[in-house]
């Protein structure tokens, strides 16, 4: 299996990468991995074990306690910490608040990128994140970069939070998205940016099916 059989989808927070990536994976029978959950899992680990995010050595040692598992025949995944399933905690607002800062740490990034490349080498996979096309699998033949305005992204994220019973004002959701965009794009290590050969898709006025269709029209599949 070669990296060029993987599909990279990058883009800013709440640009639809996960929803669209999962739909596309189902349509073309690929596995799916949202690499954001890896950075979230490390953030959860730091908070849970009360490790200072600047204590990189201790955090990297602790990453070994995390297990990232695919659930066969689905686009779902499970993250375990010390054999406890922590998946449902990874999208909560406390993690959201701290994750961008953890993701600026270059040593943590290289540890996670190693795991991501191993997965990419052994699976037909759609991988979503911020640096997939630029750093993780630069040889991927198919690379997409999703964009959408911060208002549209905040509307989507606000609706998602509401559905899961999380009550945050629209203004707070929007300002946190903008704050994370700033950290993700301005960081020194693997900043969020399209690869030179990415196809840019602005999803502001498109629904999920339209974006998936646009991707399928541009994909070269060679299993």
Shortest distance, position 94 Cβ to ligand DC, whole Å? 13
Distance separating alpha carbons of residues 162 and 36, to the nearest angstrom:
21
Looking at beta carbons only, is 8 or 223 nearer to ligand DC?
Answer: 8
Shortest distance, position 126 Cβ to ligand DC, whole Å? 13
Residues 112, 32, 146, CA angle at the centre, nearest 5°?
Answer: 85
Looking at beta carbons only, is 29 or 163 nearer to ligand DC?
Answer: 163
**Residues forming the site for ligand DC (CB under 6 A):** 13, 35-36, 39-40, 99-100, 103, 129-132, 180, 184
For helices 106-122 and 56-63, give the axis angle rounded to 10 degrees: 20
- Whole-angstrom CA distances from 87 to 59, 143, 217 are 19, 27, 33
Looking at beta carbons only, is 22 or 130 nearer to ligand DC?
Answer: 130
Would strands 66-70 and 31-34 be described as parallel, antiparallel, or unpaired?
A: unpaired
Shortest distance, position 129 Cβ to ligand DC, whole Å? 2
Shortest distance, position 96 Cβ to ligand DC, whole Å? 7
Looking at beta carbons only, is 29 or 69 nearer to ligand DC?
Answer: 69
Distance separating alpha carbons of residues 115 and 56, to the nearest angstrom:
17
Looking at beta carbons only, is 29 or 200 nearer to ligand DC?
Answer: 200
Distance separating alpha carbons of residues 200 and 106, to the nearest angstrom:
26
Shortest distance, position 68 Cβ to ligand DC, whole Å? 13
């Amino acid at each position: 299996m070669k990296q060029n059989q993987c599909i990279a989808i990058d883009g800013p927070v709440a640009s639809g990468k996960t929803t669209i990536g999962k739909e596309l994976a189902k349509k073309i029978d690929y596995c799916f991995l949202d690499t954001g959950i890896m950075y979230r899992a490390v953030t959860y680990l730091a908070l849970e074990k009360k490790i200072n995010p600047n204590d990189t050595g201790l955090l990297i040692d602790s990453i070994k306690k995390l297990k990232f598992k695919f659930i066969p025949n689905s686009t779902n995944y499970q993250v375990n910490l010390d054999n406890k399933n922590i998946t449902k905690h990874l999208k909560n607002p406390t993690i959201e608040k701290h994750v961008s800062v953890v993701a600026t740490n270059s040593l943590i990034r290289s540890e996670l990128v190693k795991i991501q490349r191993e997965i990419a080498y052994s699976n037909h996979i759609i991988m979503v994140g911020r640096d997939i096309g630029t750093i993780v699998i630069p040889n991927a033949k198919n690379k997409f970069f999703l964009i959408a305005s911060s208002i549209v992204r905040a509307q989507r994220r606000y609706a998602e939070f509401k559905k899961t019973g999380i009550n945050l004002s629209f203004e707070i959701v929007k300002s946190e998205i903008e704050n994370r965009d700033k950290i993700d794009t301005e960081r020194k290590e693997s900043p969020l940016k399209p690869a030179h050969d990415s196809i840019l898709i602005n999803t502001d006025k498109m629904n999920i099916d339209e974006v998936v269709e646009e991707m399928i029209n541009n994909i070269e599949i060679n299993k």
